[in-house]
Amino acid sequence: MKNPDKHVPFAPATEAVNRYRTVHFLNSVNEFGRLLPDTGREVAFAGRSNTGKSSSLNLLTSQRQLARVSKTPGRTQMINFFEVEPDRYLVDLPGYGYARVPEAMRRHWGALLERYLRERQALRGLLLVMDIRHPLTGLDQQMLDCCIARELPTHILLTKADKLSRGAAQSVLQQVRKALRTSYPRATVQLFSAMTRHGVEEAHARLDEWLGY
């Protein structure tokens, strides 16, 4: 699927659709000290490189180009802040696990990501994006461990659900749910597709909850 946005069918404008439609880019940061003041509420999108973080963000904001969508993994290299309204933000985190990133850069992102997850008080929840065909990789588990350490609410989007049959997708969903029951019962999980819009309302409900709407 080259450009899932192209095939997005008409979406009825729910309250959440309207709310997130006006989200706009604020700034990009690659040092902890340059983050916005740690007030307000934010929800971050994290996940392995190329899983569809930017596509998810675009779909949830009904905007084709808000976050850059790339076929070349590892393109989103900064912490990108998007403003819903003052003091409420969506945050696109650098994708992890892309092998061709130079070691020094990978270490820099790793440290930045870890510190952001550990220390950021404004962070109310993490949307952890996983390709449904490769869920719960070792690096995903490390991310979950960071969330567990501070009891950060976590919601997993199993993206690219359109790549599997309905039955196969449901089966992965149940497997991931089962794995979470032992590792982090506080985490929730859903199917998602930027191509078919599957799961938009459920994801919006989670954003609303964490951002206090």
Interface with ligand GTP by CB under 6 A: which residues? 1, 3-4, 47, 49-55, 69-71, 73-76, 95, 159-160, 162-163, 193-195
Q: Which is nearer to ligand GTP, 40 or 207 (CB)?
A: 207
178's contact among ligand GTP, Mg ion, none, with CB below 5 to 8 A by partner kind, is none
CA distance 183 to 203: 22
Tell me which residue has its CB nearest to ligand GTP.
95
According to the binding rule CB under 5 A, does residue 159 interact with Mg ion? no
Exactly one of 56, 63, 76, 154 binds Mg ion (CB under 5 A); which one?
76
State the minimum distance, in angstroms, from the CB of residue 194 to ligand GTP.
Answer: 4
CA distance 69 to 136: 22
Region of 40-48, 50-58, 165-173, 177-185 interacting with Mg ion (CB under 5 A): 50-58
Q: Which is nearer to ligand GTP, 51 or 120 (CB)?
A: 51
51's contact among Mg ion, ligand GTP, none, with CB below 5 to 8 A by partner kind, is ligand GTP
Angle (CA) 179-183-186 rounded to 5° is 100
Beta pairing partners, 79: 29
Q: Which is nearer to Mg ion, 76 or 173 (CB)?
A: 76
State the minimum distance, in angstroms, from the CB of residue 36 to ligand GTP.
Answer: 21
Closest C-alpha to 159, from 146, 169, 168: 169
> Are 79 and 91 contacting, i.e. CB atoms less than 8 angstroms apart?
yes
How many residues belong to the site for Mg ion (CB under 5 A)? 3
According to the binding rule CB under 5 A, does residue 61 interact with Mg ion? no
CA distance 95 to 76: 7
**Which tokens in the block code for residue 166?**
């309905």
* Per-residue b or e along 31-61, where b marks 16 or more CB atoms closer than 10 Å to that residue's CB: eeeebbeeebbbbbbbbbbbbbbbbbbbbbb
Q: Which is nearer to ligand GTP, 40 or 55 (CB)?
A: 55
Beta pairing partners, 25: 82
